[in-house]
Amino acid sequence: MITLEVKNIQKYYGEGESRVQVLKNVTLSIEKGDFVAIIGQSGSGKSTLMNILGCLDTPSDGSYLVDGIPAGGMDSDALARLRGEKFGFIFQRYNLLASLSALENVALPAVYAGTAKRDRDARARELLTELGLGAKTQNTPSELSGGQQQRVSIARAMMNGGEIILADEPTGALDSHSGENVMKLLMQLNAEGHTLIVVTHDRHIAGYASRIIEIKDGEVISDQRKAPLRERQENTTSPLFRSSWRYMRDQFGEAFHMSVQAILAHKMRSLLTMLGIIIGIASVVSVVALGLGSQEKILANINAMGTNTIDIMPGKSFGDRNSARYKTLTVYDSDALAEQSYIDSATPSASASGSFVYRSVSATGSLTGVGEQYFTVRGLELAKGRLLTPEDVAQARAVAVLDDNTARELFPNGENPVGAVILFNRHPLEVVGVTKAPNASFGPRSTLTVWMPYTAHMARITGSQTISSITVKIADGVSAQIAEKELTRLLTSRHRGVTDFFTMNTDSIRQTIESTTNTMRLLISCIAFISLLVGGIGVMNIMLVSVTERTREIGVRMAIGARQFNVLQQFLIEAVLICLIGGVVGVLASALIGALFNRFVSDFPMSFSTASIVLALACSTVIGVIFGYMPARRASQLNPVEALAQE
Ligand SMILES: Nc1ncnc2c1ncn2[C@@H]1O[C@H](COP(=O)(O)OP(=O)(O)O)[C@@H](O)[C@H]1O
Ligand SMILES: [Mg+2]
């Protein structure tokens, strides 16, 4: 019964002028169960013919039939399936995968064929034991001798049944003793019913075969039968499962496993590839955490100020440099506002700068006249003594509350300031309290501030009714917008239609801060995006190098039945794994940065959000897929013969 048949095939290499014909009009058929040797000198076209027979290569012209079906009409998956399940290849240089153990190498064709793990491991072990390698199943190829490696590759060829075994110079790299052993093994396989095609340039080796085909310069010059064709019992190929989702899962699991091995086999390179992703992800997560931490802190401070107050200041807007020239805001404005139904209370404040003196110490600072509500509204807390009382304000008492800076400056020896009398521009003030340092993060405060009742401030210090701001507390149940609109109208009419003041409520401050930090975040995201892009291109670069470097490995995988999909999947998984591990390491690195930051910087904490971490990991996965796709696709579309020819 004829199993393989080539009719009038031609094979050319090269184009145009440099075109050479390697096979000329080769026609032959090979019967089931036969042992055929193809012999000829080096360069005569034996390997080329063998590759065509094994569906690794295609003829330039002519037809090739496998069990009566033209191979020319098959798609790449069908060819891969033939290579994996009908043929078994044995190469001169063994072509085992260096990162896999002997057992894994032998089992690999069954992985691609879709045999269950338990079955394929059992069969691989059985085959290795039969070939005398039962003790070497866990050794990698580099730990085996040439003869042992060739036996592993024979076991691999048998893995999926090996109905037709194609051996290209199987003894070429072995000493004569190991060579004899290999040939005896092959004889035995033929006796068991496997069809055997051996390519050799050695007449002695050809002597083992039943039929010898000699080719010279691409032409068959003789075809002799030396022994009768053996009868052969029917197919022994083991049944396979495939096409279920279990098959897909199994394929994925194996590809994953092999990707991990490939990454571990090149630790340094994998680490360097990851570096771009690590730095990108770590900086994004850290910066977002910094932004979030400071924003939370600022918003907490604003909330501490209370949300139902409005500040009214002279000038056009916040930061108006000429605001000192506007002298129109007076204590009468404040009184008028206090009478409105939508306002709970109004506190004017006025400030003057000058020098504070206590005994021999003097310092420059500002003295601010305020109402008793000021401290609550500003969220200032008391450290010592008492705050201003309504009586202090009503009676315009010459009492003062110092901030922590002033207390430190004027009382450097740690005396208790409460009860002491200090001078401000020669006016005596009795210190009644000291405030705690505010936990605000608006930057360091170097200014000294002292507060006194605004009534006393106007009467004793400035002697004028002009004030620097009014803080109003909105009545309960009135919205900030309405109150703001109303008081603006009232003050504008009091100032004869001129709006020489502006208002600021904490809500609008909050909005400003939020929009500022959002802008910052957008900016940072853009920078992060660029750095991740650079990292991704790095990954693509290394993956392309890796594909080039592992071309031979890809060729071997294809020769033993890997479909394009399997190769694509594996390289894609490798790229995604590298990026994902990089992402995880990046997140861990930024957690470390955060821990250090929170330990040494007390102004505000770095705040990590789950969302940013999840997003970072998702990002690194997407980068892996996007930038891994091109190299993976390139790997999967390699031509098996060319890939195998790569050194
Ligand atoms: N990819 C290729 N491109 C060009 N020429 C090739 C290629 N592969 C093989 N050849 C040529 O084809 C001829 C036959 O090669 P091959 O089949 O490997 O010979 P053998 O296995 O008999 O030594 C040689 O002359 C070789 O140089
Ligand atoms: Mg050859």
The pLDDT tens digits of the residues spanning 3-33 come to 899 999 999 998 888 899 999 999 999 999 9
Confidence of residue 326 (pLDDT cuts 50, 70, 90): low
Among protein residues, the one with the nearest Cα to ligand 1's atom 4 is 13
Average pLDDT over residues 225-237: 68
Residue range 496-515, pLDDT digits in tens: 888 888 888 777 777 777 78
Dmax of the chain from CA atoms?
131
Q: What phi and psi values does residue 395 have, to the nearest 5 degrees?
A: -95, 5
**For residues 45 and 505, what is the distance between their CA atoms, to the nearest angstrom?**
89
pLDDT at 306: 60
Residue range 26-45, pLDDT digits in tens: 999 999 999 999 999 999 99
Q: Tell me how far the alpha carbon of residue 122 lies from the centroid of ligand 2, in angstroms.
A: 34
Q: Tell me how far the alpha carbon of residue 45 lies from the centroid of ligand 2, in angstroms.
A: 7
Residue range 455-495, pLDDT digits in tens: 898 888 888 778 888 888 888 778 888 888 888 898 888 88
Q: Which of 210, 150, 225 is nearest to 180 (CA)?
A: 150
Amino acid at 621: T
pLDDT at 233: 57
On the question of pLDDT at 321 being above 70, the answer is no
On the question of pLDDT at 234 being above 60, the answer is no
Query: Which atom of ligand 1 sits closest to the CA of residue 50?
Result: 17
Q: Tell me how far the alpha carbon of residue 324 lies from the centroid of ligand 1, in angstroms.
A: 93
Closest ligand to the CA of 93: 2
According to the per-residue pLDDT averaged within each range, which of 53-57, 475-479, 545-549, 607-611 is highest?
A: 53-57
Amino acid at 534: V
**For residues 636 and 567, what is the distance between their CA atoms, to the nearest angstrom?**
5
Q: Tell me how far the alpha carbon of residue 255 lies from the centroid of ligand 2, in angstroms.
A: 31
Q: What is the DSSP letter of 308?
A: S
Instruction: Locate 338 and state its tokens.
Output: 């206090």
Q: Tell me how far the alpha carbon of residue 644 lies from the centroid of ligand 2, in angstroms.
A: 12
Say if CB 221 and CB 202 are below 8 A apart.
no
On the question of pLDDT at 47 being above 90, the answer is yes
On the question of pLDDT at 232 being above 70, the answer is no
Q: Tell me how far the alpha carbon of residue 46 lies from the centroid of ligand 1, in angstroms.
A: 8
Which of 121-130, 148-157, 560-569, 606-615 is predicted least confidently? 606-615
Which of 194-203, 522-531, 545-554, 593-602 is predicted least confidently? 522-531
Residue labelled with tokens 């604003």: 302
**For residues 601 and 224, what is the distance between their CA atoms, to the nearest angstrom?**
89
CATH 3.40.50.300 positions along the chain are 2-239
Instruction: Locate 342 and state its tokens.
Output: 């939508």
Residue range 433-462, pLDDT digits in tens: 999 876 554 445 678 889 999 889 888 888
On the question of pLDDT at 322 being above 70, the answer is no
According to the per-residue pLDDT averaged within each range, which of 398-402, 446-450, 526-530 is highest?
A: 398-402
Query: Which atom of ligand 1 sits closest to the CA of residue 42?
Result: 23
Which of 19-33, 126-140, 379-393 is predicted least confidently? 379-393
Closest ligand to the CA of 38: 1
Instruction: Locate 348 and state its tokens.
Output: 């004017």
- Note the pTM of the prediction, 2 decimals: 0.71
pLDDT at 224: 92
On the question of pLDDT at 291 being above 90, the answer is no
Confidence of residue 236 (pLDDT cuts 50, 70, 90): low
| Element housing 332 (H / E) | helix 331-338
Say if CB 342 and CB 490 are below 8 A apart.
no
Contacts of residue 50, Cβ cutoff 8 Å, sequence gap at least 6: 38, 166, 168, 197, 199
Among protein residues, the one with the nearest Cα to ligand 1's atom 3 is 13
Q: Tell me how far the alpha carbon of residue 126 lies from the centroid of ligand 2, in angstroms.
A: 31
Residue range 260-287, pLDDT digits in tens: 988 888 888 888 888 888 888 888 888 8
- Comparing 64 with 438, the larger pLDDT belongs to 64
Q: Tell me how far the alpha carbon of residue 43 lies from the centroid of ligand 1, in angstroms.
A: 6
Residue labelled with tokens 């330990």: 599
Q: Where are the alpha helices (DSSP H) in 395-479?
A: 404-410, 454-456
Among protein residues, the one with the nearest Cα to ligand 1's atom 7 is 13
Q: What phi and psi values does residue 502 have, to the nearest 5 degrees?
A: -140, 160
On the question of pLDDT at 240 being above 60, the answer is no
Q: Tell me how far the alpha carbon of residue 55 lies from the centroid of ligand 1, in angstroms.
A: 16
Residue labelled with tokens 């401050």: 509
Hey, which of 18, 19, 48 would you mutate to test ligand 1's pocket, going by the most ligand atoms within 8 Å of its Cβ? Answer: 48
Among protein residues, the one with the nearest Cα to ligand 1's atom 17 is 45
Say if CB 612 and CB 285 are below 8 A apart.
yes
Residue range 349-371, pLDDT digits in tens: 888 889 999 988 999 999 999 88
Hey, which of 13, 220, 647 would you mutate to test ligand 1's pocket, going by the most ligand atoms within 8 Å of its Cβ? Answer: 13
Average pLDDT over residues 149-178: 91
pLDDT at 443: 45
Q: Which protein residues are within 6 Å of ligand 1, measured from CB? A: 13-14, 22, 40, 42-48
Among protein residues, the one with the nearest Cα to ligand 1's atom 25 is 43
Report the Cα 486 to chain-centroid distance in Å: 54
**For residues 492 and 480, what is the distance between their CA atoms, to the nearest angstrom?**
18
Q: Which fold has domain 2-239?
A: Rossmann fold (3.40.50)
Hey, which of 47, 56, 644 would you mutate to test ligand 1's pocket, going by the most ligand atoms within 8 Å of its Cβ? Answer: 47
In this structure, the number of other CB atoms found within 10 A of the CB of residue 499 comes to 10
Query: Which atom of ligand 1 sits closest to the CA of residue 215?
Result: 22
Query: Which atom of ligand 1 sits closest to the CA of residue 14?
Result: 4
On the question of pLDDT at 136 being above 90, the answer is yes
pLDDT at 441: 45
**For residues 503 and 365, what is the distance between their CA atoms, to the nearest angstrom?**
26
Mean pLDDT for the chain?
Answer: 86
Closest ligand to the CA of 56: 1
Among protein residues, the one with the nearest Cα to ligand 1's atom 27 is 43
Q: Tell me how far the alpha carbon of residue 218 lies from the centroid of ligand 2, in angstroms.
A: 12
Backbone Cα Rg of the chain: 44
pLDDT at 142: 94
On the question of pLDDT at 81 being above 50, the answer is yes
Amino acid at 373: Q
